[in-house]
Amino acid sequence: MVVGVTPDQPARVLKVAAKHAALLGAPLVIVNVDVMRFVTYEDPDGIVHSAPLDMDIDTGSDDLASVTQHATQLLEGQNVRWSVQQLVGDPAIALKKVADQTDARIIVVGTRRRGFGESVREFFTGSVAARLAHRQLRPVLVVPLGEPVADDEDVVWGEERAS
């Protein structure tokens, strides 16, 4: 089982993935994708070389450490084997690649956060869950991050909710 995780993501996504991995008796591969880097080339032996989109920004190692620490805290005492990997580039492509390499049964991702900025980002980059669902054969489990909204209730974004 493969799960896409970001450092600031609610614990719910990882908890749901771990629960399903334990139920299936499958190992859990936790994947963090550094979207601020891109693949420049891949050696024949599989070593991937990458470069930053912006030379002044390099958060990848911090993100990996944060995701690893978070997973260690959440999964301690759980009956699931797990590992953490960091890839670079497009999250949907990276998650698909790991799922192919590990012959994963399911890919788990969280929904995007609510808010104007996230809506704009998704408009330009698209939904990771939707792209995964259309570009590979494995089931995609999408874990909602926000509070549910009733069918007849208006969606309230960001700061409007606090008012």
pLDDT beyond 90 at 159 = no
Q: Which of 100-109, 126-135, 146-155 has the highest mean pLDDT?
A: 100-109
Q: Residue 116: pLDDT band by 50, 70, 90 thresholds?
A: very low
Q: Is residue 156 part of a domain?
A: no
What's the chain's length in residues? 163
Instruction: Tell me the sheet residues that pair with 42.
Output: 48
What mean pLDDT value characterizes the chain? 77
- Give me the number of domains the chain comprises: 1
| Structural domain range at position 139 | 2-148
Supply the CATH number for residue 122's domain.
3.40.50.620
pTM over 0.75: no
The pLDDT of residue 104: 94
If residue 82 lies in a helix (H) or strand (E), which one and from where to where? strand 82-88
Distance (Å, whole) CA 90 – CA 117: 18
Q: Is residue 109 part of a domain?
A: yes
Q: What is the pLDDT of residues 40-93, one digit of tens each?
A: 556 676 655 444 545 455 555 688 888 999 999 999 988 899 999 988 888 898
Q: Is residue 154 part of a domain?
A: no
**Between residues 51 and 139, which one has the greater pLDDT?**
139
**Between residues 111 and 37, which one has the greater pLDDT?**
111
Backbone angles phi, psi at 6, to 5 degrees: -115, 160
Two tokens, residue 81 = 């084997």
